[in-house]
Amino acid sequence: MAKPDAENGNRPPTSMEEIQQGWHSLASRVDQLESERSALEQENKSLRTLLEKTIEYRQKSHGELVNLIAGLVSKLPINDVGVMVTRLVEHNAHVNEVCSALVNGKIEGNVLQPAILKVLEQTKRDLAAAIKPAVEELIGLDTPLETKMLQSLIAQPDSFFSPENVRASRCFVKGQVPRERIVREFGEPALAGFNDLTTDAKLNPRPKPDEIVLAFKNDVESVLPQDALPADKRKELLALHRKIQRSKASTPDAQAQKNAFLKLSFILELLHYYNHQNTETPEGIFAQRLPAVIEQLVVTNDQDILDEKLIQQAETLLAFVAGHDHRLMVVNNIGKVGRTGRTLKYVLTLRMEKVSELEGVMATFVKHLIPNQKAPSPQPVVGVLRLIKPELQRPVVKAIIASTRIRKNEAEALGLAVGKELGLKDLEAELKKSEAGASPEQAQHVAWDNIKARLAQRTAPSEIAAAIRERLHAKYDADEVKQSWLVLIDADPMALVRIFCLLPYLPDGQTDPIAQAVMESYVSRLMHEKYADTYNKVVHALKNLFKIKPDSPALVNFISLVKWVNPEAAGKLSQDIGLPAK
């Protein structure tokens, strides 16, 4: 028999005596483990019961919260209710799904992550992936920007906001070049071919060298000494000059360079915001910087003409914005100055998948299309309407026909002409059918609702007065006068005063024949105890106006017109306002 070898793991068998000695210790350990296992099972059952009760209470409380919010949401405008209720239902379903998964022990790692965070993470990935194609497009257009700087943006997007890159970007937009780049690439002798645009003997006598901006002299080839630079450096400098001249020109190539830079700027600005939301405000990016980028991208001239291809590029950029509210903020802040920008704002709004308060948007859009209470020619209107969604073209044309900014016959002629150009069939027959089917009460309701909507949109008092005057001339009776008064008392007190002052005068300066009777009715109602609340608001507004500007035309004209129809009422108003007795 072989000798046991400890190194090979061969051990002698355990003797019976050793087994008997360790038996009691082993048995006690097994008993202890069994008791601990039973305690752990009981503890797990208790924890599961507690978890199930917690989840059940959470589901109940969340259901009550959803019902409460749904009740509050029902008080919102009807156009917003459906969207909000849909979001609440989706959220409630998601909570129930997560709770069920928790109870069944089938929860996944990313289920608890809110949907908005998933969208945000995906948006960041999409933006990061879009940087490289945008940079390659800009490099391919042979811009004056440094290729090395552009390529660094792919790996380090935030370097776009470094001082040197910001300065280089501004120089590209203005057709200039940073001094530090010229010195670094060509040396000090090359500065002889540039004008210093930063140093000023009085305003900025000693600027920092890395903040100085230069511009090529017009005759740089003749001004720059022949021996100032080596031949290859001189050739590169003149090539840079040609690039800058080409990017400054009003040519399609220059516009393509500008558009490519704007698209890259949009992507980098948005990615920077999503990566630094703790230090960046949404208003700064979505209400200021991004709207300006979109407007510069699409509005390329002073004419009221938009290119649909550029609009599609803008929509591609807007699709990167995570959240409908932020996209809407960008669009609503376009067109603060020019008319073409405002046209772009309405076009982008009416091309969105969902448009909140569609009727209000179309009303302001029609006001924009008919700016001066004078019927425009159909062609510009048709050109704009071709850019919006086809299913919204007919409602907009109907809104033009129903517009009170121009005479009824002019509005109908304009709307029918635009509809014909757009290929909208049966528009005239539909118009005649609606006119024949509408009762006088419905026509009255629609007319005064339109005026009320324009008041809510803070339309100019002169336009409101003209609309009221036109309606009263179309149908003049006591009920129409009463409806006009009910519309006015819903307005701001000062708006009521200004409309009241403008109402008697026709566009040619003459007095409206029905003005005295209408205003006498207004004043008698204003002084009646039934409208005491309106009277107090008007007196309070005029009293504040008197303190600020005693000779205000609105105040003087209002009191004069009241005195024209009812001297006693004018005396009481003057006394309550605090005007000196005459």
pLDDT by residue (tens digit) across 79-94? 556 666 776 777 777 7
577 and 448 part of one domain: yes
Which residues on neighbouring strands pair with residue 196, listed in sequence order?
A: 214
The pLDDT confidence band at residue 582, using thresholds 50, 70 and 90, is low
pLDDT surpasses 90 at 152: yes
Number of domains within the chain? 3
Which residues on neighbouring strands pair with residue 194, listed in sequence order?
A: 216
- The pLDDT, as a whole number, for residue 550 is 83
Would residue 452 count as lying in a domain? Answer: yes
- pTM here is 0.65
Would residue 177 count as lying in a domain? Answer: no
479 and 533 part of one domain: yes
The pLDDT confidence band at residue 115, using thresholds 50, 70 and 90, is low
pLDDT surpasses 90 at 555: no
537 with 490: CB under 8 angstroms? no
Last residue of a domain, one of 411, 431, 451: 431
pLDDT of 257-298, one tens digit each?
Answer: 999 999 999 999 999 999 998 888 888 899 999 999 999 999
- The pLDDT, as a whole number, for residue 437 is 46
484 and 385 part of one domain: no
Would residue 34 count as lying in a domain? Answer: no
pLDDT surpasses 50 at 492: yes
pLDDT of 13-45, one tens digit each?
Answer: 777 777 777 777 888 888 888 888 888 888 888
Q: Is 380 helix (H, G, I), strand (E, B) or coil?
A: helix
The pLDDT confidence band at residue 477, using thresholds 50, 70 and 90, is confident
469 and 543 part of one domain: yes
475 and 557 part of one domain: yes
The pLDDT confidence band at residue 2, using thresholds 50, 70 and 90, is very low
Would residue 52 count as lying in a domain? Answer: yes
Last residue of a domain, one of 92, 112, 132: 112
Would residue 298 count as lying in a domain? Answer: no
User: What is 125-144 written as a DSSP string?
Assistant: HHHHHHHHHHHHHHHHTT-S
Nearest residue to 418 (alpha-carbon basis) of 392, 391, 381: 381
- The pLDDT, as a whole number, for residue 156 is 94
Average pLDDT, integer, range 556-581: 85
457 and 565 part of one domain: yes
Non-local CB neighbours of 406 within 8 Å, separated by 6+ positions: 370, 373, 374, 375, 414
- The pLDDT, as a whole number, for residue 51 is 78
The pLDDT confidence band at residue 545, using thresholds 50, 70 and 90, is confident
538 and 422 part of one domain: no
Last residue of a domain, one of 86, 112, 138: 112
471 with 480: CB under 8 angstroms? yes
363 and 464 part of one domain: no
Q: Is 281 exposed, middle or buried (0-12, 13-18, 19+ CB in 10 A)?
A: exposed
Would residue 398 count as lying in a domain? Answer: yes
- The pLDDT, as a whole number, for residue 117 is 74
What share of the chain has pLDDT > 70, as a percent? 90
Instruction: Name the residue with higher pLDDT: 306 or 432.
Output: 306
- The pLDDT, as a whole number, for residue 171 is 93
CA distance 126 to 121: 9
- The pLDDT, as a whole number, for residue 466 is 84
CA distance 110 to 472: 64
Instruction: Please tell me the least confidently modeled range out of 40-44, 96-100, 376-380, 458-462.
Output: 96-100
pLDDT of 339-366, one tens digit each?
Answer: 899 999 999 999 998 887 788 788 889 8
448 and 417 part of one domain: no
Helices (H), 156-281: 163-174, 179-186, 220-223, 231-248, 252-275
* Owning domain of residue 409: 357-431
Would residue 405 count as lying in a domain? Answer: yes
Nearest residue to 313 (alpha-carbon basis) of 370, 274, 255: 255
